[in-house]
Each structure stands twice: as structure tokens, then as C-alpha cells.
Amino acid sequence: MTRARLADPQPAVSDRLQARLAARLAARGIDPAAPVLADTPEPIPALEAAQRRIPYDYRDAFADHPAVMAWVRTIAGAATAPHTDDHNPHWGSGGRRVIARGPSLLLWGNTGAGKTRQAYGAIRSLTAAGCAVRWHAVKAVDLFGQMRQRSGVDVEWLLRDIARVPLLLLDDLGAGKSSEWNEEITFRLLAWRGENHLPTLVTTNLAPIRTERTDPRQPVLRDKVGDRILSRLSGMCTPVEFDGPDRRFQRA
Ligand SMILES: Nc1ncnc2c1ncn2[C@@H]1O[C@H](COP(=O)(O)OP(=O)(O)OP(=O)(O)O)[C@@H](O)[C@H]1O
Ligand SMILES: [Mg+2]
């Protein structure tokens, strides 16, 4: 019997074992040399990935309001590819455009008129325009719920994270009960975003301020969120009114 010396290279699996393994695989119709199949039929494009985070009702949303379309064009136009400066020419192409600073929108008007749908449509349009969009959407009442102190969660960190997200949809502002604490959270969020020109889509059922057209029995956004927040909103947002009928009723 010839003994292998320690220095001789040894196969990881002995020839006999390898032959048995090959026979078993062949019996099951498996070719070990075949390329590994991915779990998904093809790589998931950005739009599809964004799509999964959009509520089911708005997955086919399309921004067709002229003011919202204009906003999408402005934001997409201001998006820049990272590393496109002259400092790093050896880095090759600039990469995918990321959305940067830009104006915000306040979509306000009747219940069911399509504000939230337009907002999700805008997010989808930006993704479809080839922009890398890190976005977050939250209803104001849910935000306040998430901000309540609880063990194991650093709510300060959470608020800072949401404040810094490149694109934020703050849905249904003024829909819940107002309180000093809610006001403070909203103020901190919007003040940071306003000061840093981070694009924000805000929706609300309430008219921003009282005018002669406003029903005197209805509250306005200023009553609900206070002057300081309204001032921030006026500084950073273009108001867009939705005065159409409630589409939920129409659908029913
Ligand atoms: N252009 C549209 N085409 C088809 N369906 C629409 C359109 N606009 C809105 N809808 C549908 O109508 C319903 C109400 O729209 P949406 O939720 O956007 O209204 P809203 O103005 O945000 O209402 P609320 O003030 O109650 O939050 C949704 O089911 C939405 O999918
Ligand atoms: Mg809505």
C-alpha cells in the first residue's frame, strides 16, 4: 500500500465519493455544473422595489395634476449623479442620479379628491424617471404614535432619521387631535426639512388659512397646527388645491 505523504496535494473529496455523488445527482437529473438559478425571474428594477412599499390602493397611481407634474420635473431636473464633479474623473460615470434639494408641495382639499394618490404618483414618476429615491411615507397620526417613548426604541433617532430622508410624504396633516406635543414633533420635522430644502409632500383635508370661501364651521390648518408650523409650510411649499368630488363615493 502506498502512503500519501503529508506534502502531497489531496483532493477535497475522494474519487470514489465524487463518483457516487455524481451518480446520485445524475439519477435526480441535477447537473452540478449548471449555473445557479436566481429566485426571481430577473433582477428587480427600482420601480418594482418602490412599488412594494406603496399601499395597494395607490400602486398604479399616476401624477397627472399639472402642478404635481411640474414639481416632479423640477425635482427630477435637480437630481444629480454623485461623483459627476471634475475632482474624480477616474471614477467613471457619475452613477444613478439621486434627488437632492428642492421645493415641497402642500396638497390640500376635499376628502377623497385624490391628494394621497397624486403624492404616490409623484414618487412613482420620480423612480420611473431614473432617480434613486430614498423615500418615506407616513400619516401624521401614525408618526405621532411612533414617536411615543417606549422601551428599546430611540424615538429621537427615529425622528432625526425621518427628518433627513431625501423625500418625505407626510400624509393627512391636521387629521388627528391637536396637542402641544404633536405640534412640537411636526414643527421639528418640518423646520429641519424646510431649512435644508428637502423635498416634502404634505397632504391635508384642511384649507391652509381661513378665507371668505371657507365654511365658518370648518377648522383650517392654521387652527390645527398653529402659526409656527403654518409659517414653515408657507415658506417651503407650493399649495395645490384639490376641489374634486370624493372618488371613494363615486367608486361605491
Ligand atoms: N385619478 C384617479 N383615478 C382613479 N382613482 C383615483 C384617482 N384619484 C383618486 N382615486 C382613488 O380615490 C380614492 C381616494 O383618493 P385619495 O386617497 O388619494 O384621496 P385623498 O384626497 O387623499 O383623501 P383623504 O383626504 O380622505 O385622505 C382612492 O381609492 C384612490 O385610489
Ligand atoms: Mg389622503
Rounded Cα distance between 122 and 107, Å, is 12
- State yes or no: pLDDT of 58 exceeds 70: yes
Residue 88 domain-assigned (yes or no): no
pLDDT at residue number 145: 92
Q: How far apart are CA 241 and CA 231, in angstroms?
A: 18
Q: Specify if 38 maps to a domain.
A: no
Domain assignment present for residue 224? The answer is yes
Q: Which has more pLDDT, 113 or 1?
A: 113
- Average pLDDT, stretch 114-135? 88
> Which residue is it, cell 402641544?
180
Q: For ligand 1, atom 2, name the residue with the nearest CA.
A: 114
Query: What is the tens place of the pLDDT at every residue in 171-225?
Result: 999 998 889 999 999 999 999 999 999 999 999 999 999 988 888 888 999 999 9
Give the domain range for residue 190: 46-82+95-251
Check residue 71 and give its pLDDT: 95
Residues with C-beta less than 6 Å from any ligand 1 atom = 57-58, 111-117, 172, 203, 205, 242, 247-248
- Give the N- to C-terminal CA distance of the chain in Å, as an integer: 87
Q: Is residue 211 part of a domain?
A: yes
Assess whether pLDDT exceeds 60 at residue 62: yes
Can you tell me whether residue 200 is helix, strand or coil?
strand
164 Cβ neighbours under 8 A, 6+ residues apart: 192, 198
pLDDT value at residue 95: 59
Nearest CA-CA partner of 199 in 251, 237, 142, 158: 237
| Cα(184)–Cα(18) distance, integer angstroms | 68
- 184 domain residue, yes or no: yes
**Domain presence at residue 227:** yes
Q: Is residue 3 one of the residues assigned to a domain?
A: no
Helix ranges restricted to H, 35-154: 46-53, 66-78, 115-128, 140-146
Q: Is 43 or 249 the better-scoring residue by pLDDT?
A: 249
Q: What is the pLDDT of residue 26?
A: 86
Ligand with minimal distance to 57 CA: 1
> Does residue 17 belong to any structural domain of this protein?
no
Cβ count within 10 A of residue 215: 9
The C-alpha cell at 9 is: 496535494
Q: Which residues pair with 171 in a beta bridge?
A: 139
Query: Model confidence over 127-136: pLDDT tens digits?
Result: 887 777 789 9
| Number of domains the chain is built from | 1
Quote the ligand 1 centre to 73 CA distance (angstroms).
22
Q: What is the CATH number of the domain that holds 245?
A: 3.40.50.300
| Nearest ligand to the CA atom of 170 | 2
Q: Looking at 33-37, 43-47, 91-95, which range is the least confident one? A: 91-95
Residue located via cell numbers 463518483 = 19
Amino acid identity at 40: T
- Mean of the per-residue pLDDT values for the chain? 85
Task: Write the CB contacts of 137 (distance below 8 Å, at least 6 apart in sequence).
Answer: 53, 54, 119, 120, 123, 168, 169, 171
